[in-house]
A and B are shown apart, each in its own frame.
Chain A
Amino acid sequence: MDGAPVGRRVFLGLAAFGVSGIVWGSKAAGLMERLLAPVAVKDGTGLLGLLPTGRFRIYSVVGSLPDRAPSDWRLDVGGLAGAPYTIGYDELLAMPAVELTKDFQCVTGWRVPQVRWKGVRLADVIARAAPQPQATAVSFESFDGAYTESLTLEQARRDDVIVAYELDGKPISSAHGGPVRLYVAPMYGYKSLKWLQRITLDAAPRPGYWEHQGYDVNAWIGRSNGRSDEPA
């Protein structure tokens, strides 16, 4: 057969390029997010939202996406507490609100620029339960029945750790962990437990679902899990 053997070269070259991207792709992804993030914030067309950069990826740990209407949602706060309590969605919204606008950084590499969160400071939610002196940690449970997380009490009292109920000006959808989730700004996304239903004051941190999968308990962005991302 005559002619130049171009087809096979294109095939092998592209396949080698693509497969080797498993190794170099994380650097390229970081570069791409830095280049596109400023454009995406100003993008009025929404077209960039279709591209695989600067967007949320939805992970869940059980079979189906947990779903609970705000009217059925309750939060239990208890454990080593002098005044354990339960509140509903409307009561949570009646508490003093704070807003945070920060990048959301996942430990698997993706980063969503400038996400707007609204909620109640976790410090306020905890203080209302009157923690006992021996309480040094806080653990969280999701109503999906599997997802758990924890923080030290000191971490939990930071101003940038909130019990969130709004994402980008809208109630948090089920896919994003609604109606109420945790948002732990200085740490990787897996610490921001979705579908929050119980907060327990503990004597020591209890490693959660993802930490049992091998992730760090103290998940500071850029200073854990072997990664070097910019802080959010």
Chain B
Amino acid sequence: MPPESPGLSRFDRTERWLHWANATLVGVLVSTGAVLYWGELSSVFGRRALFKEIHVIAGLCLPIPFLLALPGRRGRGLRRDLGVLNRFSPDDFRWLRSRGADPTVRLGKFNPGQKLNAAFVGAALVTMLATGSVLRFFQPFPLAWRTGATFIHDWTALALGLAITGHIGLAVADRDALRGMVSGAVPAWWARRKRPGWYEEVTGEGAGS
């Protein structure tokens, strides 16, 4: 492993705050949701109504961190990164086609898998909030909507659970990348090797190959 080199700033304070605020809410939603979903768990823990209350409140709070983090000066880095997540370069498409194996691909700040994950998780959270609201406030809606919302809420939860498991697994497997979201900075060698396009952009130096 190369010697410790000065870090490159990867995520600013607002982005890290948003990530961990959102992760906390999602963690509460996943654990209380699991208790509500698996009847066996709820008989172990009893107090089903309490778990339901916590689940609903955490769910309704989901938009708050985003609304706090996005606007104004403090949201600049976040908005810029959302723009980066949106754009797929020709290199990104080659990375996807080769499933990450093509050695000539020069990645920017995020790999396309991260970009797709961001789009999926964002859409899944919107979906969970909308369907969850129908489940909670079902009175004004047709009965079939409650059935539909149950169906979508359950399957999206399953897909989201897999995505989160993969996300955590990859983060734990690459401690240097994880450090970017904990302290804000990643080692320069990491950026040079794994995100050469981004390395050149922020340092003005060639990353080599």
Contacts and interface: CB of A to CB of B under 8 A. Distances in A.
B23 interface: no
Given A29-B147, A64-B49, A21 B84 contact: no
A29 B120 contact: no
Main secondary structure of the interface of B (DSSP, over half): helix
Instruction: Give the size category of B's interface with A.
Output: 35 or more
B119 interface: yes
A6 B127 CA distance: 19
A123 to B, nearest CB: 30
Nearest to B146: A108
B165 to A, nearest CB: 14
Contacts, number: 160
Interface string B114-150: 0110111011101100110010000101111111111
Contacts of B118: 7, 11
A176 B124 contact: no
A17 B123 CA distance: 9
Nearest to B49: A63
Nearest to A32: B151
B47 A63 contact: yes
A27 B152 CA distance: 11
Instruction: Give the size category of A's interface with B.
Output: 35 or more
A2 B87 contact: yes
B87 A108 contact: no
Contacts of A110: 147, 150
Contact of A3 (B39, B92, B146): B92
B150 A109 contact: yes
B161 to A, nearest CB: 11
26 contacts: A1-B86, A1-B87, A2-B87, A3-B92, A6-B86, A6-B88, A7-B85, A7-B86, A8-B119, A12-B123, A14-B124, A19-B130, A19-B131, A21-B149, A22-B145, A23-B144, A25-B151, A26-B144, A51-B158, A52-B155, A58-B39, A63-B48, A67-B46, A109-B151, A214-B139, A226-B142
9 tightest A-B CB contacts, nearest first: A25-B148, A18-B127, A109-B147, A52-B154, A3-B87, A14-B123, A21-B152, A26-B147, A29-B151
Interface of A: 1-8, 10-15, 17-19, 21-29, 32, 51-52, 56-58, 60, 62-65, 67, 107-110, 173-176, 214, 225-227
